Amino acid sequence: MAKWLVTGSHGFIGTNVVRHLIEKGHQVRCMDNFSTGNRKNLEGIVNRGDVFEGDIVSLQDCYRAMGYTGQRKSLDTDYVIHLAALGSVPRSIGDPATSNRVNVEGTLNILTAARHANVKGVAIASSSSVYGGEISNGYAQVETDRPSPQSPYAVSKLAGEYYARTFARLYHLPVVSLRFFNVFGPYQRQYGDYCAVVPIWFDRLIHGAPVEVHGDGLQSRDFTYVDDVARACIAAAIQANVWPGEVFNIARGETHSLLNLLVEIKKLTGSDLPNQYTDARPGDARVSRADITAAVRLLGWRPRVGFKEGLRRTYEFYMEREIPY
């Protein structure tokens, strides 16, 4: 089986990707600096020797994670899935320099190391935030739409895409970028600063606390279950040599308002608490809906888990664990 490196391995999406790869019998090396990743996520799943504690902002750490020792024909790593990043639009607004250093310089380091390590394929995580909520055709965001990032986080993700495209053109690196749309599911952090809306609302309603809705709640999102995202990462890395430099939307291709999301979460938790409304957050997109034609047609991938089914699985996952509030 192939040898894989997953950066951000112990984070939300990384944990699910690693589990998918190991279930398929692949050899996986995990890279994480554990600033936000949870060591417990992969306990009993990966061996201690397969976990490399390093930081993507260090080029030498990236080289070591891939097993590159200066020999151009080094084949210690076949495929790389680059998920390590500093997420959150609000955090990037408060500290744009750190988001830039981690997301831009870190991605550049991964691409540089992958180029020298002679890997077969790289998939890097981008974000739907690069669109800025603009829908040019009135229906869905297409990869060919002009980006309109509204936050430092979105800018950093777009910069990573441009670096990937440049490395594909100049150095013939087989790399593709994946624009994730509002991923949710098991192992997503449900407490602490800068959490996403799905785990926050599950956490509060499970514990009998009301939830805050930013703005009017009519802003819409293309919520995507994490299992589908994990499969897309693997498929994209394997086929990166076929579509070098390309960008793909990874989503369900449908949209739900935040109020609709809250209705479904309240059904699952049995909550009838009233909503608490607060000011809209700066930098948040109004509309997010993906056209996934390219990923379906070119990567042979399509989402399998529906919105309500994904929420049900997520709720069951949280209920099986003790959730602090």
Q: Which CATH number belongs to the domain containing residue 233 in this structure?
A: 3.40.50.720
Return d(Cα 311, Cα 308) in angstroms, integer: 5
Q: Is residue 211 part of a domain?
A: no
Q: Which residues pair with 184 in a beta bridge?
A: 225
Total structural domains within the chain: 1
Return d(Cα 271, Cα 276) in angstroms, integer: 14
Of 42, 147, 51, 159, nearest in space to 99 by CA? 159
Q: Is residue 215 part of a domain?
A: no
Specify the pLDDT at position 281: 72
Q: Is residue 121 part of a domain?
A: yes
Return d(Cα 65, Cα 55) in angstroms, integer: 10
Tokens 């609302």 -> residue: 201
Mean pLDDT by 10 residues, the chain (325 residues): 94 97 95 92 89 96 91 74 87 87 96 96 96 73 91 94 98 98 91 74 89 84 96 98 98 94 94 82 76 97 97 93 55
Q: Is residue 191 part of a domain?
A: no
Q: What is the domain range of residue 154?
A: 3-184+225-251+290-304
Q: Is residue 195 part of a domain?
A: no
By three-state DSSP, how is residue 79 classified? Answer: strand
Q: Is residue 278 part of a domain?
A: no
Q: Is residue 105 part of a domain?
A: yes
By three-state DSSP, how is residue 319 classified? Answer: helix
Specify the pLDDT at position 303: 97
Q: Is residue 283 part of a domain?
A: no
